[in-house]
Amino acid sequence: PLMFIFYIYIYIEKDDVVVATDGRRYDVRLRERKRYSVYWEQKPAVVKRCSWFHKGNKDMTYTPYSEELSDILEDAYMIAVTLDEWKQNLELPTGETVILHNPKLMMQYPSSYKDFPPSPTERTQPRTLKRGIENIPIVDHLVFMVHGIGPACDIRLRGIVQCVNEFRIASNSLIKSHFRQSEDLCIIGRVEYLPVNWHKVLHGESTGVDKDIERITLPSISRLRQFSNDTVLDLFFYNSATYCQTMVDTVASEINRLHSLFLQRHPHFTGHVSLVGHSLGSLILFDLLTNQETDADGKPHEVCSSAIILHEDAHVDTGCSSYESLEEVLKGHGLEEHLSVLHSEQVDMESLMLCSEKDLKDVGIPLGPRKKIMNCVKKWKHSRTGSGHAAQNETHSPSLGMRNAHEHQTPTTSAVDYQHFDVGIGQVSIDYPQLAFHPQALFAMGSPIGMFLTVRGLKRIDPNYSFPTCKSFYNIFHPFDPVAYRIEPMILPQDVDLLPMLIPHHKGRKRMHLELKEGLTRVSSDLLGSLRMVWQNISQIPSPALAEDFECSFSNLNICAAVPPMEQKERNFTKVGMLNRGRRIDFVLQETPIESFNEYLFAIQSHLCYWESEDTALLVLREIYGNIPVRNALS
């Protein structure tokens, strides 16, 4: 049930009053008393119209009155305001007594108050009344959250909408506990989190992939095979040029659609936008951001409205796909000066399709023209094979992004070109769409990005590489997550062994069992230091037998010694490439005491823990708000 209705956005639609609620994520039709979701598909929910609320001394939030009691309180309040007569007793049908002392002090007393007013020492205390909701923080940051493999996102098998709601609740709670002063001073507002669902489109009727897989699935162990088809196969689909294009198009199209819809409902929004990806979703976002393009002034390429909502008569310019000769390609992009070089190498349009970027570099074509030529070749390939944006002329539902993008076409088999760009991230050669904004940061949770880059043939990420349109990148993982991989070792020299950054506990301390482990580590280190000093002193004594016994004991103790605390290594090394502007990239959560007993038992759960992790939510808030003071411990 709804606890609050925010009266911040009201309009008339078909003789019905519509109220935007819950941060404008829902519309409530007052005549129907039903709430409809705006950004995702969800069954309408029954709501109550609440205008009066009460709260006890120990309550954290206000509780709404019923509509009947709210009408009684509203009538009494309007009479008091009109006649300027306060401190009148109002007896409610429930037996409680309400006294409106003044517009800012209104109290509800128990039923026994009229005959025997309670003393301050009694447990039954009056409740504070409040009319309406005020001081609603304005959204100053927007975050899109992309899920991983399968339709379920957490251990309770909830979908992306429910998990994002859980993350939003944790974030709002942390703002009130850790950023209370900044919120009261209106230095910060509120972070809005919106879910991005790509699984439904990939496994929908438009692609037909589920029916194709079902025909070749063995009948044995049916439940396990069904689970594998719904989840694990998504990893293989992403390595397919055909379905990788569908997945990337869906994510980008849905993000752009939600972004456009959000701006319509928040016309005064001037904040930043960030991206969060879980598991495979983080890899999709990583590849998208790697392939974003900017104009000469650093602005993103303009995304036309047809990329967000396509209609039957929409026309999409295929760019290079309309060219039939090498001369037309080069002249169309102002690169005709390089035509003589290609002609000297007997390169025509057909042979250009077989060239890699390294081939163009070897014949002396500069970096800028190389990028333009290779981008044009990619689009020309997809226009001929029937993949990519050529399929976008089909109609699709705006609420589901690219639902019908492949409905009327048969996928064709073509050679997949794995390109190794200068920045060193070989990936499937597809046409990557452009986002309508520059993200502030990418947060990867439980991400296999490092593993995918490695199996693509990438051994090292250039330390000078950064996303074209995104400033920051954070790789967040649980220490027992079997799907997560690190990023920093791919950037740092091989002789540098840097432990990941330990994410602070949201209550401002390390977990007790980790503090105990660290304390034992320090004791072991101190003991070893003392033993070394003793050994140096007695080693001068000519006693081979004594030395042999002591050396044996020393080696046994050395086996039990633990590595130094992470903070010591952090002091010695600070800059890690430019993916996160030289700052640290890998961040590890603290396992709970029960998880530390058996890391294998909690492996699956650790991969799905991020949606409910307050430590993860606090890290996101810290990085979003930058230098805003954070309260380290709860009172």
Q: Is residue 199 a contact partner of residue 238, using CB atoms and an 8 Å limit? A: no
Residue 253's Cβ-count burial label (10 Å; 0-12, 13-18, 19+) is buried
Q: What is the dihedral of CA 273, 275, 276, 280, to 10 degrees?
A: 170
Q: Is residue 90 a contact partner of residue 107, using CB atoms and an 8 Å limit? A: no
Q: What is the dihedral of CA 591, 574, 563, 521, to 10 degrees?
A: -70
Nearest partner of 501 among 612, 630, 367, 623, judged by Cα: 623
Side-chain-side CA neighbours of 319 within 13 Å: the count stands at 17
Q: Which strand (E) or helix (H) includes residue 194? A: strand 190-196
Q: Is 279 a catalytic residue?
A: yes
Residue 334's Cβ-count burial label (10 Å; 0-12, 13-18, 19+) is exposed
Q: Which two tokens stand for residue 296?
A: 């000469």
Cα separation of 196 and 277, whole Å?
Answer: 9
Beta carbons within 8 Å of 320's beta carbon, 6+ residues apart: 329, 332, 375, 376, 377, 379, 380, 383
Q: Which two tokens stand for residue 512?
A: 């007790």
Residue found by looking up tokens 């102002």 in the block = 334
Nearest partner of 513 among 609, 617, 597, 610, judged by Cα: 597
Please tell me which residue in 70, 279, 387, 613 is annotated as part of the active site: 279
What amino acid positions are annotated as catalytic residues? Answer: 279
